[in-house]
Amino acid sequence: MKMKRLVATMVCASGAAMLMGAPAAQADSTILASMWDRGKSMGFTLSRASASAGKITFQVTNDSASITHELLVSPVKNFMNFGYKPDAAEARVDEGSMNIIEETHGMKPGTYKSITVDLKPGKYIIVCNKPGHFSDGMFLPFVVY
């Protein structure tokens, strides 16, 4: 438990560093998304945690050395309760409960994919729904203004 909290803090710190280091000329509608895992922890690092409404491009890289990940964009009403239903047999979220807007599908380690979505203002969750990955914390909030 203590370990998990430490990892979450480290992820936030690296996310903030990336925000400060983002080139000024980069359009705010382009999000660089890294999918990673280290030992038992895994997650996303996004270049921005929010964007203006409209067309938003996620440039997704799987930076894992050995694990296939995916990026799903899912709208939620509330960051404290996503309203997701579990698919216990598959150890993941029941995708029928996620209102998925777009997804990369499984990406092998070292691969890159770009997806563009047209998002209205609201709250979204960026999720990897490979078995066990959501429960291991592989999701992040994303806000559209």
Which residues form the interface with Cu ion (CB under 5 A)? 69, 128, 130, 133, 138
Residue for token digits 């691969």? 111
Residue of minimal CB distance from Cu ion? 128
C-beta of 48 vs 69, nearer to Cu ion: 69
Residue 80 CB, nearest approach to Cu ion (Å):
23
101 closest CA partner among 58, 50, 130, 42: 58
Residue 61 CB, nearest approach to Cu ion (Å):
13
Please list the residues that pair with 94 across neighbouring strands: none
Residue 28 CB, nearest approach to Cu ion (Å):
26
Residue 131 CB, nearest approach to Cu ion (Å):
9
CB-based contact 35:64 (threshold 8 Å): yes
C-beta of 8 vs 27, nearer to Cu ion: 8
C-beta of 76 vs 107, nearer to Cu ion: 107
C-beta of 52 vs 135, nearer to Cu ion: 135
Strands (E), 1-145: 30-38, 41-46, 50-51, 54-62, 72-76, 86-87, 92-93, 102-103, 112-119, 122-127, 139-144
